[in-house]
A and B are shown apart, each in its own frame.
Chain A
Amino acid sequence: MSRVGTIARRTFLIGTAVIAGGVAFGVYAYKREPINPLLKDLGDGQAALTPYVRIDQSGVTIITPRADLGQGVASILAALVAEELDIAWNDIRVDFGSPSAAYYNGIAAAEGLPVPATDSSFKARTTRVVGDAVSKFLGLQITGGSSSVPDAYEKMRIAGAAAREVLLQAAARRTGIPKHQLKTRDGNVITPRGEVLSYASLAAEAAKIEPPQKVRLKPAADWRYLGKPMQRIDIVAKSTGTATFGIDIRMPGMVYATVRANPAIGGGIKGYDASAAAKARGVIAVVPITGGVGVIADNTWRAFKAAELIKCDWGAAPYPPSSAAMFEVVASSFTGERQDSRLKDEGDVEAALQDAGVIEAEYKVPYLAHAPLEPMNAVVQLKDGRLDIWTATQIPLFVVATAAEVSGLAPDNVHLHSLMSGGSFGRRLEDDYVRQAVEIAKAYPGHPIKMTWTREEDMTHDFPRPLGMARMRGAVRDGKVEAYDLKVACPSVTASQIGRLHMPTFGPDIAIVAGAWDQPFRIPHYRVTGYRVPELVPVSSWRSVGASANGFLHNGFLDELIHEAGVDPLKELIRLCWHEPSRKVLEAVGEMSKWGSDVGKDRGRGIAFTLSFGVPVAEVVEVSNTPQGIRIDKVFVAADVGRVLDPTNFENQVQGAVIWGLGHAVNCELTFKDGVAEQTNFHAYEGLRLNQAPTIEVRAIDNGSPIRGIGEPPVPPAAPALANAIFAATGKRIRELPLNKHIDFV
């Protein structure tokens, strides 16, 4: 049975109940929620009060069922529960939980719908509810789309409140004291006489009590944790080398493996000669895997060395061999036949662009690798009809389905132990590395095996952000932007990625134009058209997905038009913007950067704005034009995520996302030769280093907007704000990334 078939069947009964119940009426009904996965492995005296809280004799464990990729989601989700449950910060223990449909993500699917985040109409809201229902149906326990916090904001607080309520009831039953006279504090129920009953001691009784259907949440004014700087729960471990990543797992009898797969992705392997590798010191076995070879040895380095000795006869890539050839395919995709969407079409663009004085430009963006610092790895053990997998993943249910399919075991015999990961940026939305590890385990059962990729394997087997091109035309009149016609052509991330999960996609791919079609600007004649380039290299979600490219494309040419109109960029963006929260963000960044003041000789300021994942973000970049090249001095960022749950982590995420956006814009690209990525390691794919990192000032604007995540939205404006600043400082307009193809950087 195919993977989707398996998943759908496993979740169908749960799913239909859910769709018929909670969602339609907007009531959070516990009984109709998907089965609580904690109930099945409970020991004596343990209670699982909701899918998010487990209590036993040693205390409370909060299940944070999203992958912590560095964004700090485990801490924030735990804080949501802890706030209502009333436990002390230092007593918080978290567990990523086992894969379960109960941990569906109701927000992530909504991001792919053709409804702009600024649309709060009934139709838009209904479409989003359908997104939630579909996600529940499929049990998509996914981490992505900056969705973890908005998805969890209510449901995990409710889980904490419900658990507290049950504990209070248990204490009332035991003591005979009416519930309303009992209080809680730091993991204990306190009686009016001052007796202290720990939650742990109440676990067995609490397990017998049905959680309430309705709970009252604390008003924000009473919050102890939320809205205040929190110490990340993993910060000491991550500062002492004691955090355990997948690559750090050690087990008795463990062996070590690596793989070499065809770097011409999908080209397959025609044959290989492993005679030298098999004789190398420490090598245990050389085994075939799909499209490549695996090497098992007694340590990782020996596996790496042996893998290099294998002579592989690779097949050719099923796509054009060079970047130049691929860009030709992109350039020839601006056709009616390839048109994928025209979600914005206001005024009469064709008529407005009849006159002389039409401004035209062409822009280009490259493939980009995720390249998280921890290379892909997984620990697997296939033994006695049971498969255990220790790894980090953003798609746990799909990983289990893949592992079941490859191993031939029933999904119930596949046990996934989710770990934190050393970065991801979307890379772990793919499960290729798990598939390989399970293939190796099948060839060498009975032992724990740690499979680790070399950096070279990682760089040459990424599922990159797609390349793309844009063709723009525009016109200005009386010092105003009058017409903007934007055409974007790139391969479909959604079709490529969802296709690998064996799921159908339908309708246009919003990712092709995300961050362009949905911007809150009113231009008299304004049109955004997406063209779907046929799949070339398989592509995937890369931090901020479609907006990562469109932020640059849309802002870059808009800045050109504004300059052509001879007006101030910030003033014109504010004038064009109809969306109040976005306008406030623009005004704030203007104030922070003292926009309009003298920036000094050989210096320049650039501004850009992108609304993505529902979050308006404006950035101003200041650069100096030095004899050694461009130096990025300072960045100002204003963003509106509604309420900020942890100001420290918020600032850290914004700064990281800005450095991510700038670093890739300055010097990163993945180019192809003979079907193989040419950048094999960090010597050729650097990003920014500490000496190049600007100071970054961050301000959160709360306009009372719905709560949103911040992991991705600051990425899209960074590249165009930098390019616009370079234009301001040098007069040089750069229309292609990376920028260092056209100008030097310090």
Chain B
Amino acid sequence: MPLYIGGIGLIIKAENLSYTYAEGGPFEIGALHGVSLTIGKGELVGVIGHTGSGKSTLVQHFNGLLKPTAGSVTVCGVDTSAKRADLKAVRQKVGLVFQYPEHQLFEETVRRDIAFAPQNLGLSPTEIDARVREAAALTGLPEALLDQSPFALSGGQKRRAAIAGVLAMKPEVLVLDEPTAGLDPRGREEILAQIKALHRETDITVILVSHGMEDIANTVGRVFVMNQGTIAMEGAPLAVYSRYEQLEQMGLTAPQVTRLMKTLCGVDVCTVKQAKEYLLGVLRRA
């Protein structure tokens, strides 16, 4: 797994980032307070945190949709709050899949909806067609569905179509805000597996926001834990999950298997697979 080392291959950097919604109004809400982080090129990182901890707010800074109230965010070498920042270029490089992205579908057919982003980039019709097919294949949408209305699809299929709509931009960084929320276990696993495969096969950087502690442990190499608008912890899933008492104080629960294995054998694991390997090792030695 490619890891960020020193300043090499840095792709996203936030320094002391703070953000306040409705600044100056009666309903002012401070959503982020002094967040600093760096994400390296080709990394697959996760962001977890309780509801309202600022995950969505944070990732919207990564493609310049929100600009810091204080501090700065640098994406692919561009300071997003600079006066002449080319945000269009940044948005093309950083594809952001929103929470419940199926709410953004609008075209008559799935094909045309996926083609919306490449069209906005001004690509040729053949290139657009190629990208639509590729994106549909990557998200596991069968060809046959492409000419249906997006509103006739099932929830999981709509989700895939919406993700494909962002992938068709061929972004360098893919940010997914809870891509599996509201899906059944099978759909969840399929989408996560596709994200992992995409990351393995291309040099794309992926940032995955999720509530599913196990999903994160199974998928990412590094995880940020957000708590009340700040980054409370950061590190490999195993290192973070082993401090599950602290996580519980932040309204998060480590995977059951982590707690079970800690109580049973006093070891730190964060996935069922790791637990299985450990137990098999113990059995073999016995």
Q: Do A and B bind each other?
A: no
